[in-house]
C-alpha cells in the first residue's frame, strides 16, 4: 500500500514540537474545518507527517508518523469531527521556514502556500522529500 504524506500546523504557544517530542504521541484533535477533517480521515497508519509551527516561527520543525487512524474527536461537543494519533520521528536539523518554501521553485504548488489557512494538508512525495532535504 502506498504511503501518503501530510503537513499539520500548530501554534508553538499551544503545542510546540519540543512538547510533542516530550509527550511521545498526541491525538491530533480540535480540527473544525471540513477539508482538514477529511484529510485526517484519509491518513493511514505509517503515513509521514511534517510538523509545522504556525503564526510564530512559521517553519517545519520535524517529521512525525500516524500511529492511529481516525476516530471520533472527543473534544467536539457536537458535529462529526475526527482525530488521529501521531508520534514524533525526528526533528529536522534545520527548521525549514515558510520563506524558504515560498522561494523554492520545486515547492511552488505546495498546499502550505496555496491554502495557507488549512491546518491539515496533503503533500506529494516529492514535496515531502524536498522539504526534508532542505531541513537536513
User: What is the percentage of the chain residues whose pLDDT exceeds 90?
Assistant: 94
For the entire predicted model, the pTM comes to: 0.96
- Give the start-to-end residue ranges of the domains of the chain: 5-135
Cell matching residue 64 = 512525525
DSSP, collapsed to helix, strand or coil, labels residue 38 as: helix
Classify residue 105 by its DSSP letter.
G
Q: 81-132: per-residue pLDDT in tens?
A: 999 999 999 999 999 999 999 999 999 999 999 888 899 999 999 999 999 9
pLDDT in tens, 36-52: 999 999 999 999 999 99
Our CA angle for 101, 105, 109, nearest 5°, is 70
Which CATH architecture fits 5-135? Roll (3.10)
Spatial distance between the Cα atoms of 33 and 27, rounded to a whole number of angstroms:
17
What is the rounded end-to-end Cα distance, in angstroms, of the chain? Answer: 27
Amino acid at each position: 500500500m502506498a504511503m501518503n504524506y501530510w503537513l499539520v500546523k500548530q501554534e508553538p504557544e499551544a503545542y510546540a514540537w519540543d512538547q510533542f517530542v516530550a509527550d511521545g504521541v498526541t491525538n491530533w484533535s480540535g480540527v473544525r474545518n471540513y477539508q482538514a477533517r477529511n484529510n485526517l480521515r484519509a491518513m493511514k497508519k505509517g503515513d509521514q507527517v511534517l510538523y509545522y509551527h504556525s503564526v510564530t516561527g512559521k517553519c517545519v520543525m520535524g517529521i512525525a508518523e500516524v500511529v492511529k487512524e481516525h476516530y471520533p474527536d472527543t473534544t467536539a461537543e457536537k458535529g462529526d469531527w475526527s482525530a488521529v494519533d501521531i508520534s514524533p520521528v525526528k526533528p529536522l536539523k534545520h527548521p525549514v521556514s515558510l520563506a524558504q518554501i515560498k522561494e523554492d521553485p520545486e515547492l511552488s504548488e505546495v498546499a502550505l502556500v496555496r491554502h495557507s489557512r488549512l491546518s491539515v494538508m496533503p503533500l506529494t512525495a516529492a514535496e515531502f522529500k524536498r522539504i526534508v532535504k532542505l531541513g537536513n
